Amino acid sequence: MIHRVVRILSAFTDDDPAMHMRELARAVNLPVSTVHRLVTELEVEGLLVRDDSGRLRHGHRMWEIASRGSSASSLREAALPSMEDLLNHTGNHVSLGVLDGTDVLYLERLAADDSTVNITRVAGRLPVHGCSAGLVFMAFAPDDERELFLQRRHTKLTEDTVTTSEELRVIMADARRLGYVSMAGIIVEESSGISVPIFIDGGRVAATLTLIVPRGDERLSITVPQLILAARAISRRLGHRPPPMGMQRRSAP
């Protein structure tokens, strides 16, 4: 039953924020009578509301419950000032990601109007092997988790997506040694992603901070220190002491 409720609630998206009952039933592939019964209960709770045209949408209550209890909201809030500074200083897209299963889920994404293609969107997902953020999470993950990742079969998203465990292993080792991952064109041909970890609890990676730049315009000697400093500021704002600046180098395999 909870599964059906989740299916109903997650049928509403940025592209389909409002639906009539029949559209909703079609979207979740359940009988109209079942959907009707569940929707009525969800309306009582304020999780769904009807707009003037009779279409259903999420009620503000839904957003409220999720925001209040969520580490996503506090992460986002702690990261926002540094993300704005990065956007203003670099003129590049900036995103904040967390690991959720085998995906990176993007909690925030600030867009520079005139920069390159950026397919991340707020509350959007990318597969771990298809973005620099995901490779940072895997680089700093516990050994058993990283091994599981390396043993999975990865699909090519572009010509340049890295899919072999040998190559991925080198990228992870470099990431731990250098403290960042820079990948060109692994999901969109014309863009590069540069990502660094945001540490909490003296070593766990809570999130990743990413700059999306036009491919070939990585200027790592400038962008990486900016990203690392911003990530450290976010760690502090979350109430954690980031590890000493040299630590990433020392923890190299």
CA 218 from chain centre, in angstroms, equals 21
Smallest distance from a second copy to CB 184, Å: 28
What is the full DSSP assignment across 178-193? HS-EEEESSSSTTEEE
- What minimum distance in Å lies between the beta carbon of 144 and a second copy? 14
Minimum distance from residue 7 beta carbon to a second copy (Å): 9
Q: Which is nearer to a second copy, 70 or 158 (CB)?
A: 70
Rank residues 62 and 186 by Cβ distance to a second copy and give the closer one.
62
CB of 155 to a second copy, least distance (A): 22
Compute the least distance from the CB of residue 120 to a second copy, in Å: 13
Q: Is 130 exposed, middle or buried (0-12, 13-18, 19+ CB in 10 A)?
A: buried
Cβ proximity to a second copy, 63 vs 117, nearer residue = 63
Other beta carbons within 10 angstroms of residue 221's beta carbon come to: 7
* Cβ closest to a second copy, residue 70 vs residue 251: 70
Residues in a beta bridge with 208: 97, 197
* Cβ proximity to a second copy, 63 vs 252, nearer residue: 63
- The runs of H, that is alpha helices, within the chain are 2-9, 21-28, 32-44, 60-69, 71-90, 132-139, 143-151, 165-178, 220-237, 247-250
Amino acid in position 222: I
Note the residues at the interface with a second copy (CB under 8 A): 1-3, 5-6, 9-14, 17, 38, 41-42, 44-47, 57-74, 77, 84, 98, 100-101, 105, 107, 122-123
> In angstroms, what is the minimal distance from the CB of 181 to a second copy?
21
- The Cα–Cα gap between 190 and 192 comes to 7
Place of tokens 């009525």: 40
Cα–Cα distance between 235 and 35 in angstroms, integer? Answer: 43
- Cβ nearer to a second copy, comparing 6 with 222: 6
Say which residue the tokens 């403290």 belong to: 179
| DSSP at 19 | B
CB of 69 or CB of 246, closer to a second copy:
69
> Least distance to a second copy from the beta carbon of 172, Å?
22
